[in-house]
Structure 1
Amino acid sequence: MSANDTDNKQQFRPEDHPNDHFLLTTVVGSYPKPKWLNRAKELYQDPESDFSDDNWLEAKDDACRLITNEHERAGLDVVVDGEMRRNEMVEFFAHRIDGYEFNGPIKVWGHNYFDKPSVVSEVEYDESWLVDEYEFTAGASDRPVKVPITGPYTLANWSFNEAYEDDDELTLDLADLVNEEIEKLVEAGARYIQIDEPALATTPDDHAIVGEALERIVAGLPEDVRTGLHVCYGDYSRIYPEILEFPVDEFDLELANGDYEQLDVFKDPEFTKDLALGVTDAHIAEVDSVEQIEENIKKGLEVVPPEQLVISPDCGLKLLPREVAYGKMANMVEAARNVEEDLDEGRIDIDRSTVAPADD
């Protein structure tokens, strides 16, 4: 489904939105965990502690409410819970998929370790992964809620494959499971799904299998369900324009981190989907000024018209100090509203003459 076929973004426009133009503001997903939640986890995992299952559940619930509220206070149009219940983006899902097992952490860089799972038998869907998380967040907020899900290509690529002939076969089986989960989320009321495929940026020659997996993921979804694909920083010229064939409404791209050096990649041919543009660098622990973010938003307007632009940080914010993460979000929302007002008043003149028309 193309973003030009149906504008399912307008359902997220607040009733009291102040401007005629609407640049939807959201986040990629992760957010810094409160320090007390990390302490609660330590207590829960300590065999000498009497910190019970109920205590741990209450701590996670409280953190989800707190961060969802923080997103609301920042003014985001669409919120998430900051992934307070999740640990690592592959590990979280692998624990919930039959066919995976864990054999201990491996060193990935420096002093960082990753509990890399192994696929030891055919993957199967058992219990829902995210429906409870979504329903809790939706109940804690009066804003629309986005659900990020790690995509099947990354779930396969970042695991040891000991059961399938190749990773492509594993990816497609996982795509069927992701589709099953999304169908349950849609039944629960979710209307905004984001597929995270950071592995695509590191192995971009595999865009064909990612496209085939996405076809399976979105099969049968109603048109009012908005789907996006988040791809972390990489050489986008190796996957563009091929990704325009992917059956999603928007692409969430990390461009601020590279100071928009790759912006021109998306001008030829014309970007025909919605662009969720990273306008704050998630890797720098400083709050971007409103003025700087306004200039970054205008970079996106060089690629797509306002109706195809979504405003977001570059990537998840979990590694930042919490006050910095909040400052980035709050300034991002203020900048988006300012640019909308300038668009309403005709004060922005963007030169899109270098954009090559899409092939009919």
Structure 2
Amino acid sequence: MQLNCLGFPRIGRRRELKFALEKYWRGESTQTQLLAQAATLRQRHWQWQAEAGVEQVVVGDFAFYDQVLTLSATLNAIPARHRGDGPIDLDTLFRVARGRAPTGQDAPASEMTKYFNTNYHYLVPELSAGQVFSIAYEQLFDEVAEAKALGYQPKPALLGPVSYLYLSKTVGQDFDKLSLLPNLLKTYTDILERFSALGVTWVQLEEPILALELTKEWQDAITDAYEAVKTAKVKILLTSYYGSIAHHQGLVSRLPVAGLHLDLVTAPEQLPLFANALGQDQILSLGVVNGRNVWAAEVDEIAQRIGAIARDLGSRLWIGTSCSLLHSPVDLDAETKLAPALRQQLAFAKQKLDELAKVRLLLQDGDSKAAMEIIAQCTARREAKALAADNRVIARVKALTQNDYQRRSDFSVRQAVQQRKYRLPLLPTTTIGSFPQTPAIRGLRSRWRKGELNDTQYTEQLQQVTRDTINCQLKLGIDVLVHGEAERNDMVEYFGEKLEGVGFTLQGWVQSYGSRCVKPPLIYGDVSRPKAMTVDWAVFAQSLTDKPVKGMLTGPVTILHWSFAREDISRDTIATQLALAIRDEVVDLQNAGIGIIQIDEPAFREGLPLKQSDWQAYLDWAVKAFKLSAAGVVDETQIHTHMCYSEFNDTIAAIAAMDADVITIETSRSRMELLNAFEDFAYPNEIGPGVYDIHSPNIPTVAAMVQLIEKAAQKIPPRQLWVNPDCGLKTRTWAEVEPALKNMVEASRELRRRLA
């Protein structure tokens, strides 16, 4: 009965990879030094797996930016604008991700979007008609050899060929992506043969699209793909995650693979279907430890649920994580200040490996003293969790009525009132919220947390940063300002630290993309807001100018999705509790004189179930949560929201139902393609499509932004348009931000002159 880890976070327990990457990008270290740090991390993580009893350490989960991008390089699928004349190397990958040509000039970065319904972003492969695939990058094979040399048996993890095509985009002439499958399969076969030659026994081929509702063409592609690779001299573990694949049971059970992995955390009900159809020689890997959350697994209950099938299958059963542990923080042992009551509820990636071993122990030796101790720990943890209820919050949720979810007037009425109050020009300019978090700001925060600065000193210095940020925007001529959020560490963590029922960690980092890491709060109890969270900073910023300064909040749906949320009550109940807390803040901001308030919901679409037939139930409660957070204000108060990296076509009606006065969205990398949804739907409210990509260091020209605004104006009436970047500016430098915003303002003014 083997233990099966589907993947391990690569950033390191103290974000060692992040810092090594950024040092290399700044030219402060060599590639040799970067590679050495990466090897140290891989070897540590393999050692942890082996110590926990994992027989085959996972390889291929490590990436210097994104594992899908690494696969694209392996397959020789690199855009021409980033490629260069030489072989594909690590710098090639960085050019794709960060927007550079081989000459050092700007070249648009490849599009980045969410990986299914997670907060992890992948680089979208760009494929053209007649694309020729071949093995062109050696990282995967080098790491297999590295693991073998250290005495480990490696199990490569690789996105499957059909899911790779599904997640890609076509460029150039229009064509069917599936026409590329035969050539792609030849290269996958070559990869599998290379693995076999290196001594690999099992390969984890991941087909997460099986959790989607696939057309017949894509279902047939799955069949064709696994028929084509069945002759490989390695055993294939067909791997699914993030949802049930029961609707494809007949298809999957017919595939000629040596094993199947099921995610039983999201879909425990699918187990009997596949267990009954399992071939006599096939293994079944059960994902029973949650790879996407931090709560300690109820290993005694898991063992009880799968006990019967464990007895039936014996060594043909593997005990695994539900998905890659990429979505979990690395090591709970790095936490030194957690309250004991909260700590006992948690398990990070390293501890989840031990949980796999505990499940196996309970299955194989359930009457032992060690097993009894494990069961006692689980019982004590559940009893402690039951004491966390806040009856005041529970009663407030029960008392809500339909009126609590509605603005006082329709948008057309509110729009007229707001136009008279703010007198904004055509194509008003604004930014999304954050301004650069410089080393000086991070240093201030660090010194304050260490006690080297008292609260007064810290506040005074951040107030000066806020003054500078306001003055910069005034000098640039931006119409609706922001205070810059210098006091905030992260858009979710900042609020999590100020809410009851929410905890936070010191080193609970997870990767969002590239070197960007976030530290999600832990929603362990019923949520409430004991006091105002942002009002003082908003009022201070507004006192510096007569122009409107937006109050900046993170919305309830995003706080939920970007936190590690408790699992003992429904997610819609948690969202409602969060919405009430944000509503209280919105009302306090309005009463303090802040007339424009932005409630960011970048994760709104991220929460969609993978099956479209399940969407409406989610959209109903997600829309209600946002409306509840925003509906306590008068008509004059203008509510903004922001969404990024979302496809809107299928959810546009729900986004309109949120009834925000202004929505800002990411559209620059797609060259305004995402606005097709707003054109076809005739979106009724105002909208700010992002006119430049803040995730790239490139500084956009006036002409480039004028062109994008003109494209937007072809789809949406100019009177409804705002002009803004596509996301916050936190990760950029002032040297990049000021000229970019200057060009953005000039682009807006140029078009105003044309349209006047």
Q: 1:328 aligns with which of 714, 731, 740?
A: 740
Q: Which contiguous aligned blocks of 4+ residues in structure 1 show a shift greater than 6 angstroms?
A: none
Question: What is aligned with 1:348?
Answer: none
Question: What is aligned with 1:222?
Answer: 634
**Which structure 1 segments of 5+ residues have no match?**
15-20, 345-360
1:169 aligns with 2:573: yes
SS of residue paired to 2:649: helix
Cα deviation for residue 51 of structure 1 reads: 2.9
Are residues 321 and 10 of structure 1, via their aligned partners in 2, closer, same or farther at CA, if it must alter by over 3 Å?
Answer: farther
SS of residue paired to 2:683: coil
Question: What is aligned with 2:706?
Answer: 294
Q: 1:96 aligns with which of 498, 504, 512?
A: 498
Question: What is aligned with 1:18?
Answer: none
Amino acid at match of 1:296: L
Amino acid at match of 2:413: D
Question: What is aligned with 1:337?
Answer: 749
* CA deviation map 1:133-163 (0-9, x unaligned): 1110001223110112100011112222237
Question: What is aligned with 1:309?
Answer: 721
Cα deviation for residue 266 of structure 1 reads: 1.4
Cα deviation for residue 112 of structure 1 reads: 5.0
Amino acid at match of 1:141: T
**Greater CA deviation, 200-209 or 133-142?**
200-209
Please give the residue correspondences for 1:1-360 in structure 2 after superposition, counting only pairs within 5 Å.
2-7=410-415, 8-13=418-423, 22-46=426-450, 50-109=452-511, 112-162=516-566, 165-204=569-608, 205=615, 206-344=618-756
Provide TM-score, normalisation by structure 2. Answer: 0.43
Distance in 1 separating the partners of 2:591 and 2:489: 26
Amino acid at match of 1:63: V
Distance in 2 separating the partners of 1:288 and 1:55: 37
Which structure has the bigger radius of gyration? 2
Cα deviation for residue 292 of structure 1 reads: 1.2
Are residues 282 and 10 of structure 1, via their aligned partners in 2, closer, same or farther at CA, if it must alter by over 3 Å?
Answer: farther
* CA deviation map 1:293-340 (0-9, x unaligned): 111111221222122111111010111121211111111111111101
Does the CA contact (< 8 Å) of 1:207 and 1:243 recur in 2?
no
* CA deviation map 1:169-214 (0-9, x unaligned): 0101111111111111110111111111121132244332221012
Cα deviation for residue 256 of structure 1 reads: 0.8
Distance in 2 separating the partners of 1:39 and 1:178: 29
* CA deviation map 1:24-68 (0-9, x unaligned): 110000110343222222333345xx4333221111111111111
**Which structure 2 segments of 5+ residues have no match?**
1-408, 609-614
Provide TM-score, normalisation by structure 1. Answer: 0.88
Are residues 250 and 113 of structure 1, via their aligned partners in 2, closer, same or farther at CA, if it must alter by over 3 Å?
Answer: closer
> Paired residues, what number?
336
Distance in 1 separating the partners of 2:441 and 2:636: 35
Are residues 176 and 43 of structure 1, via their aligned partners in 2, closer, same or farther at CA, if it must alter by over 3 Å?
Answer: closer
Distance in 2 separating the partners of 1:262 and 1:269: 12
Give the CA RMSD over aligned residues. Answer: 1.9
Cα deviation for residue 111 of structure 1 reads: 5.5
Does the CA contact (< 8 Å) of 2:555 and 2:629 recur in 1?
no
Distance in 1 separating the partners of 2:671 and 2:442: 33
Does the CA contact (< 8 Å) of 1:277 and 1:310 recur in 2?
yes
Does the CA contact (< 8 Å) of 2:411 and 2:659 recur in 1?
no
SS of residue paired to 2:622: helix
Cα deviation for residue 116 of structure 1 reads: 2.2
Does the CA contact (< 8 Å) of 2:481 and 2:547 recur in 1?
yes
SS of residue paired to 1:154: helix
Distance in 2 separating the partners of 1:199 and 1:218: 17
Amino acid at match of 2:446: E
SS of residue paired to 2:743: helix
Q: Could you tell me the percent identity over the aligned residues?
A: 28
* CA deviation map 1:233-280 (0-9, x unaligned): 122123113211222112111111222222212111212111112111
Distance in 2 separating the partners of 1:25 and 1:10: 18
Distance in 1 separating the partners of 2:509 and 2:635: 42
Distance in 1 separating the partners of 2:531 and 2:703: 46
**Greater CA deviation, 108-117 or 291-300?**
108-117
Amino acid at match of 2:580: D
Are residues 54 and 253 of structure 1, via their aligned partners in 2, closer, same or farther at CA, if it must alter by over 3 Å?
Answer: same
Amino acid at match of 1:13: R
Does the CA contact (< 8 Å) of 2:523 and 2:565 recur in 1?
yes
Distance in 1 separating the partners of 2:632 and 2:447: 43
Does the CA contact (< 8 Å) of 1:148 and 1:195 recur in 2?
yes
Question: What is aligned with 1:356?
Answer: none
